[in-house]
Structure 1
Amino acid sequence: MDYWLGIDCGGTYLKAGLYDSCGREYGISRQVMPVLSDHPGWAERDMDQLWQGCCQTIQKVLHQCGVAGHQVKGIGISAQGKGLFMLDKQHRPLGRAILSSDRRATQIVTQWQQEGIPQQLYPITRQTLWTGHPVSLLRWIKQHQPERYSQIGSVMMGHDYLRFCLTGERGCEETNISESNLYRMAQGDYSPELARILGIDEIFEALPPIVSSAQVCGGVTAEVAALTGLATGTPVVGGLFDIVSTALCAGLKDEHTLNAVMGTWAVTSGIVEQVLDDEKHPYVYGRYADEGKYIVHEASPTSSANLEWVTRQCGEMGYDAINQAVNGLPKAGSDVMFLPFLYGSNAGLGMTSGFYGLQSLHQREHLLQAVYEGVIFSHMTHLNRMRERFTQVNALSVTGGPARSTVWMQMLADISGLPVELLQIEETGCLGAAMAAMVGGGVYTDFASAQQRLEHPSSLIMPDSSVQAAYQHKFQRYQFLVEALGSYQTRCESHFPQRSC
């Protein structure tokens, strides 16, 4: 029997899954990948450790499924977007990788905003500027680690690095590199002018060739075959930005459905066939896996990772116990609010997290309910903007850890007023990556054909109109609180520019 291997490199876990040509899952292997933070706001990963973990995870899934290496007919990789994975001029890892949640470049992005750089770039790149963008991190390295900067031989993202390790071939995959601020969205290529505007002209020669999602970029080397159990020469395709993987698995084809990803990042995305000018918001565009289409999305690191942090501080609780505690309270019945900005904000670069409205009568379940609500309220910031672009939306497809909580998903349906569709897919990143390998191997002619064949069952949660008014009132109070604290942040920065507020 033939299999396709999908690897997913996320913010917390590295996963590998085996699938047949119909998308049936035969096994998943997972390994925690530590996030290293030696300084406030830093988020890094050891590149050698990541590669070793990848080899172990591949080896483990083959073993647990009883699959021989020669039965794997193709490999795809899905990964977090943005961030920075660098090789030196001898193609060796150049220090640690920097993840998209890293905030060391906050001052650089703030300076660019004051200089009007985002407005200069947006018509060309269709990107905002974020602290975790490759360009922001490269500029920071140039300023603070000039010796390291001078040694840069290749600029990559997560799946590009793992693909290089598997094949020895360098490349930057298009769905991911198209969101780097080094790529011209209309022309579909790099631009030295963009690097010049951002003050990082020198790295233009370090940009590997652009490859497409299903393009075969090389084969597994003999050395890697010995480490993993794969067969030498097994084709490896370009791969996917993990948001694109999820959109493919969610079956997004037109403008009637949006997809919400709830993980470390809160992402709302949709698929379009053209880039529009003069839009109300600076929507982020990226190239989609299917030629001629674009993915549009809004995102911020303000999602379910906040719950994991809060439960660690308050005493570990199982998911079932948390759901039971939240479900036992009146909906939107507490004055307690939570700002889910532990890892970044969608309300200003300097905004941080916190609870507001606590009184002595409140207990742990009120804190947990506020976290659930705060994460949804933050998602609504993106969803409401996206609905101004996608005016025909009638459903919201959801993936990520919270999708396993019917309590949390009912809250999302109630607050958004949209039916919430829950995919019965364990790992969309792995399946999407395997799908890319199938298309690249000729099993399917394109991603649309693969989507049609690989449809999976889903469940639907309908909104409860009787509680929408209560939720909308609390959502408005949440917005008032964010606005008030934004004013506080601005005053702090003007009075104490050298100190964090």
Structure 2
Amino acid sequence: MKYWLGLDCGGTFIKAGLYDPQGKELGIARRSLAIIAPQPGWAERDMPALWQAAAGVIREVLEYVGIPAASIQGVGISAQGKGLFLLDKQGQPLGNAILSSDQRALTLVQAWQKAGIPPILYQQTRQTLWSGHPVSLLRWVKQHQPERYRQIGSVLMAHDYLRYCLTGELACEETNISESNLYQMAQGRYDLALAQQLGISETMTALPPIVGSTEIAGWINSAAAAATGLLAGTPVVGGVFDVVSTALCAGLQDETRLNAVMGTWSVTSGITQTIETGFDHPFVYGRYAEAGKYIVHEASPTSAANLEWFCQQWGLHDYQQLNHWVAALPKAGSQLLFAPFLYGSNAGLGLSASFHGLQAFHQREHLVQAIFEGVVFCHMTHLNLMLQRFPHTKALRVTGGPAKSAPWMQMLADVSGLPLELPQVEETGCLGAAMVAMVGTGAFHDLAAAQLVLAPRLKTVLPDQQAQEAYQQKYQRYQALIGALRALQNSGSKEVL
């Protein structure tokens, strides 16, 4: 038998999965990943520890399934995008990686916004500018850690670093690096003029060659074979940005379906063959894993991680109990509102999370319901924008942990008014990574053919029209709250200035 391995590196976990030619999952191994926060707003990761965790889950899943390493035909990697993983000129980790949720470059991005730089860049990159972008973090390192900046040998993102650990080969995978603000979208290449405009032209020589998602980028070397249990010489493909991985697993192929991802990040994605202009909003485009296609997405770190934080603080571990609490309450029946901005905002730089309307009679059930609603309302911020770009959307395909929560999915259907289609895939990151490895090693001619064979079963959730009016009224109150928080934030900024 032939098998493929998919490695998925997320914000809080790293996972490895093994799959047969029909996409059947044989086993999954997972480990938690620590986020290092040496200062408020900082989010870092120990790079050697990340590699050790990656090697560990690969070895664990191979041992669990009990198949010979020679049966593994190829390896793919899916990972969080953005952030900054630096190597020095000797190819060694240059300090901790900086994750995409890091906000140390906030004031720098605000200064760029005030100077009018983002709209100028957008014409070339089809990207917005925010604190977790590689360019923002590189400029911050140049300003605040000049010695470290001088030592930069390679600029990578998470799956580029892990691929380097597996193969010893340096490359930047296209679906991820195309969203770095160092990549000219129309021409499909790095652009020195972009780096010059941002004051980081010195780093252009540290950008490795660009590799495609399904392109073989290297082979397992002897050191990685010893660490993982994989066979030396096993092909490793470029891999995918995690939003691309979930879109592949969700079966997105045209503009009639959007993919909502609910996890650490709130993401809504669509697939298109054209870059459309003429909108007031700057839609973010990235290269898709299929040639000639783009992925369009709106995203912010405002999703289910807010609930995980709440559960950690109060020692709640039974997610079924949370579902029962929410299902037992009247829909939109509480006046309590929650802004899910614990890890970032989609309503303005620097906004923080908050409960509004909390009173003594409220219990844990009401707080959990407010978190469910706040996350859905935050998703609606992205979905409403994406529906402008994709007006022919007929259904929303939802992936991520909350897709297992019946009341949360019913709430999303009720608020959006769209039918939900829930792909029954346990680990979209691992399967998507394995899928590009299958194509790269010749198991399928292309990704469209792979999607046909590996298409998951879909579970449908229809909106409750009677509940929609009550939710719309509460959603309007939520939007009013966000407007008030934004005004308060702007007032505080003026006082500081």
Q: Same fold (TM over 0.5)?
A: yes
Match of 1:155 in 2: 155
Asked whether the equivalents of residues 262 and 303 of structure 1 are also in contact (C-alpha less than 8 Å), the reply is yes
Match of 2:327 in 1: 327
Q: Which amino acid aligns with 1:39?
A: Q
1:408-451 alpha-carbon deviations (Å, 9 max, x no partner): 00000000001111111000000000011111001111111111
Matches within 5 A, 1:4-19: 4-19=4-19
Inter-partner Cα distance in structure 2 for 1:487 and 1:223: 55
Match of 1:196 in 2: 196
Match of 1:425 in 2: 425
Match of 1:360 in 2: 360
Task: Check if 1:223 corresponds to 2:218.
Answer: no
TM superposition shift of 1:364: 1.1
Match of 2:406 in 1: 406
The aligned length equals 497
Inter-partner Cα distance in structure 2 for 1:159 and 1:324: 38
Match of 1:187 in 2: 187
SS in structure 2 opposite 1:421?
strand
1:172-199 alpha-carbon deviations (Å, 9 max, x no partner): 0000000000000000000000000111
Matches within 5 A, 1:246-261: 246-261=246-261
**RMSD of aligned C-alpha atoms?**
0.7
Q: Which runs of 4+ in 1 moved over 6 A?
A: none
Match of 1:61 in 2: 61
SS in structure 2 opposite 1:91?
coil
Task: Check if 1:211 corresponds to 2:211.
Answer: yes
Inter-partner Cα distance in structure 1 for 2:315 and 2:233: 49
Percent of paired sites with the same residue: 62
Inter-partner Cα distance in structure 2 for 1:13 and 1:312: 16
Match of 1:112 in 2: 112
Match of 2:479 in 1: 479
SS in structure 2 opposite 1:140?
helix
TM superposition shift of 1:496: 2.1
SS in structure 1 opposite 2:344?
coil
Matches within 5 A, 1:34-433: 34-433=34-433
1:101-149 alpha-carbon deviations (Å, 9 max, x no partner): 0011000000000000101100100000011000000011001100000
1:277-321 alpha-carbon deviations (Å, 9 max, x no partner): 222310100000000000000000000000011122233241011
TM superposition shift of 1:68: 1.2
Distance 1:37 1:337, change over 3 A: same
TM superposition shift of 1:3: 0.5
Asked whether the equivalents of residues 68 and 229 of structure 1 are also in contact (C-alpha less than 8 Å), the reply is no
TM superposition shift of 1:229: 1.1
Task: Check if 1:493 corresponds to 2:471.
Answer: no
TM superposition shift of 1:350: 1.3
Inter-partner Cα distance in structure 1 for 2:276 and 2:94: 39
1:188-220 alpha-carbon deviations (Å, 9 max, x no partner): 000000000111111010000000000001110
Task: Check if 1:21 corresponds to 2:24.
Answer: no
Inter-partner Cα distance in structure 1 for 2:29 and 2:350: 37
1:67-96 alpha-carbon deviations (Å, 9 max, x no partner): 111110100000001010010000000000
Inter-partner Cα distance in structure 2 for 1:248 and 1:320: 29
Structure 1, 265-274 or 218-227: larger mean CA deviation: 218-227
TM superposition shift of 1:362: 1.1
Inter-partner Cα distance in structure 2 for 1:51 and 1:313: 29
Inter-partner Cα distance in structure 2 for 1:260 and 1:127: 20
TM superposition shift of 1:359: 1.3
Inter-partner Cα distance in structure 2 for 1:176 and 1:206: 16
SS in structure 2 opposite 1:358?
coil
Inter-partner Cα distance in structure 2 for 1:225 and 1:360: 58
SS in structure 1 opposite 2:434?
helix
Structure 1 length as normaliser, TM-score? 0.99
Inter-partner Cα distance in structure 2 for 1:247 and 1:240: 11
Q: Which amino acid aligns with 1:183?
A: Y
Structure 2 length as normaliser, TM-score? 0.99
Structure 1, 334-343 or 220-229: larger mean CA deviation: 220-229
TM superposition shift of 1:330: 0.6
User: Gaps (5+ residues) in structure 2?
Assistant: none
Q: Which amino acid aligns with 2:421?
A: E
Q: Which amino acid aligns with 1:145?
A: Q
Structure 1, 312-321 or 129-138: larger mean CA deviation: 312-321
SS in structure 1 opposite 2:329?
coil
Q: Which amino acid aligns with 2:359?
A: Q
SS in structure 2 opposite 1:49?
helix
Inter-partner Cα distance in structure 2 for 1:192 and 1:331: 53
User: Gaps (5+ residues) in structure 1?
Assistant: none
Inter-partner Cα distance in structure 1 for 2:296 and 2:474: 28
Inter-partner Cα distance in structure 1 for 2:76 and 2:369: 38
